[in-house]
Amino acid sequence: MIITLKKNAPQEEVDRLYENFEEKGLQVNIIQGANFNVFGLVGDTSQISDRDILANEWVENVQRVSAPYKLANRMFHPEDTIVNVGGVKVGGNEKIVIIGGPCSIESKEQIVRIGKEVKDCGADMIRGGAYKPRTSPYSFQGLGYQGLLDMADAREETGLPIVSEVMSADKVDEFVENVDLVQIGARNMQNFDLLKAVGHINKPVLLKRGMSATIEDWIMSAEYIMANGNPNVIMCERGIRTFEKYTRNTMDLAVIPIIKEKTHLPIIIDPSHATGDWKLIEPMSLAAIAAGADGLIIEVHDQPECAWSDGAQSLKPEKFKQLIEKARVVAKAVGRDL
């Protein structure tokens, strides 16, 4: 961190700041310039807030030279993290993973049936929501705990790992017992108590990007989970809010190489929520794989017009199967298996 002090800063202020940083365990290097004095701080500056330092009237400018995240940072962990989800490996140069299933679990019969269908199409995992974050309180809110139990039956019947979204810290135990991958939804990306709670579990976490989150906000949320003891985080881009209304969200493809450059974590893409339109799922999926994504999570329903949520952005199984076949060709072109 580089702190520029005004030249006329009183010596006692300079000494006070110097001691303050030293007390925090940092090494302080001073450069005396013609117009400014500069402090170069060496050490772990992650606990220091640049904005708070600027509150000192003698400080002209503060610049971070390293990112505020450490555990997620590729600089300190150059090799790719490979996350094991119930035996399915995600990240590194592993096979690209495909996750499919309905937005909401509607009944045991429905999740078992669609689970078998997505397996037959070539999926590696099954998705399904039991607790649903709905914009309207009058919309279907999910089957709750019973939904998780129903989905566990789909795992029994197919042998595929299952992923579902947890919405509150007090429900985390239900997920630890019943699912293989615990999803944090876009709306909860900065629910810090929930992030801490899933930091304490021994199940991998799928961390969706908040709809208005910057890349740094999102990585800091991964850092929360990792700093609380859980290194098994998979990032998931699901589209962000922009001025464009034609699609439900704007899918940010560039985050794939950026997350891979800045962090060592796997990243998968959710083209269903990113676009809101089943017709856009296939082209966006192919683009995501070409850009280096480690997987896709796609809403699949055999009767999308009757789905209890998100039917418009759900693929029918046959379309899902076609997508996987095309995606395999793109994966091969970029040196990955699928």
Q: Applying CB under 5 A, which residues contact Mn ion?
A: 103, 310
According to the binding rule CB under 6 A, does residue 166 interact with ligand PEP? no
Task: Compare residues 28 and 312 and give the one whose CB is closer to Mn ion.
Answer: 312
Which of 155, 203, 238, 321 is close enough to bind ligand PEP by CB under 6 A?
238
Residue 260 engages ligand PEP in binding (rule: CB under 6 A): no
Say which residue the tokens 């030293």 belong to.
22
Going residue by residue from 75 to 104, which x/- string records binding to ligand PEP, judged by CB under 6 A? ----------------------------x-
CB of 331 to ligand PEP, least distance (A): 23
Closer to Mn ion by CB, 201 or 323: give it: 323
Reported as type and span, the H/E element at residue 320 is helix 317-333
Is 248 or 336 the residue whose CB approaches Mn ion more closely? 248
Decide if residue 186 touches ligand PEP (CB under 6 A): yes
| Contact indicator for 3, 53 with CB cutoff of 8 Å | yes
- Name the E strands within 166-257: 181-184, 205-208, 233-237
Q: What is the distance between the alpha carbons of residues 116 and 320, in angstroms, rounded to a whole number?
A: 13
Whether residue 157 contacts residue 182, with contact meaning beta carbons closer than 8 Å, is answered with no
| Residue whose CB is less far from ligand PEP, 45 or 285 | 285
At CA 181, angle to CA 250 and CA 317, rounded to 5? 60
When binding is defined by CB under 6 A, the residue of 33, 87, 133, 257 that contacts ligand PEP is: 133
Pick from 102, 129, 161, 204 the residue near ligand PEP by CB under 6 A: 129
- Say if CB 126 and CB 154 are below 8 A apart: yes
**How far apart, in whole angstroms, are the C-alpha atoms of residue 51 and residue 279?**
45
CA 30, chain centre distance (Å): 39
10 versus 133: smaller Cβ distance to ligand PEP: 133
Which parts of this chain interact with ligand PEP (CB under 6 A)?
A: 103, 129, 133, 165, 185-187, 208, 238, 270, 273
